[in-house]
Structure 1
């Protein structure tokens, strides 16, 4: 077994040709009420110039084929951060796909984080997505979401800084979904701003079905691998995911600083891989995401 112990850290133009590259494509404090609606795409959605047929075929060639298995999407927030190095080692060793929702400010916050950012850009099998530039002005969630234009500017700054390939994002501190006709908001007072981040900012927003929680005092994982795996089985068995047979798991890079927690992640991934019922996928293959992009919601 590898030792995943890690040393602590020391320290717009809008995307028009996204169909050329869909691979390589960000706590999460869920609270409040939910607002879930399924509605047709509105007429004020921005229009995208039609892509060449060859480019469209190339993009769709990366779409996963239909499957009888339930799909699980491993997503990790707040990187590059404490634990990113261990996380990438685990993903590489286990050969599993994962989606990283990154904070622009963290890409150059320390020499080690800059090194991890450089590695992330060429790391195989992962997608890089937007988790804002400042993480809601360093967790000042209430004032951050009061002004839609500044929220959009924050996400746009991160997108430009990191040269992200597609406008797939996760709102900091809010479990919000905006995918094609799918809408869910965990805190209704922020709904209008998050609606604007989709409609005016052009972002496809990804929330989560299950969080691998951590203790914010010491960054240690709360659930064991067995406990999290049992939660996965329960959510699928009781049909409590946003879209049936699809489950998005949220975790955080900083959870994998020690060998104890890192080995929990290894154990959990191996349980998923050993199950004949499950398969792991990138978030761009989540139902509706590619359709939303190809219809121009991300332009």
Structure 2
């Protein structure tokens, strides 16, 4: 859980981070946890707090319905769920429908969802002065997002980080991998990305993590970086990217650096935006609200 105190121009005055994840807060205790972590910030008479992410899920403070794409600031603001009217609200996540199986009634369109990433995307667009962008948000469930005219048009989810963890910890590959990830090996990572981009399936390339170790082609300490490259490379291989494509990468420094490196191996330019995107997005959403409604 992270929070930032912003001044009346949107500048970050203070940031706080806590170990409280969604599953560590029991039902009915969200208000007390919030008060303990950020209650002093809310003492100001004109204080406004917007929250995004899994706090609006079924397991969160309040379940907030998804807002369908395409969506921009107007749709987001209209679909805020107020915990405390005029002072404390939860930003809705987004949903979209992607092409599926044309001749199957139930699978013609496949739903996808996000919570929290929409705020980061809006913030990145504000910070970079963009109205249109192709963006990726790396993580447990990576999101590839198409934004046009300042609105999120569509997106798709890739379980990249989760697949890495599953293969890293619970597959036969775990017997070859060292206990810890150790230092990042850029050469091994690049090798993994390159093989993935030239192959047809991760189901086949993943096993090379084991065989390269068996035949002493790669040292054990390089294998986590190699496997990371394979999986991120597989994600990139699945993208339809134009020759002149430019990608905005939003997220932590560690992951955005890897994605920028992987995209360069595919001859795709990119730029990175960090955690400041979240605060810029929440600030931008707040600016769309009716001042007469706030702090009544």
TM over 0.5: no
Higher relative contact order (CA 8 A, sep 6+): 1
Larger Rg: 2
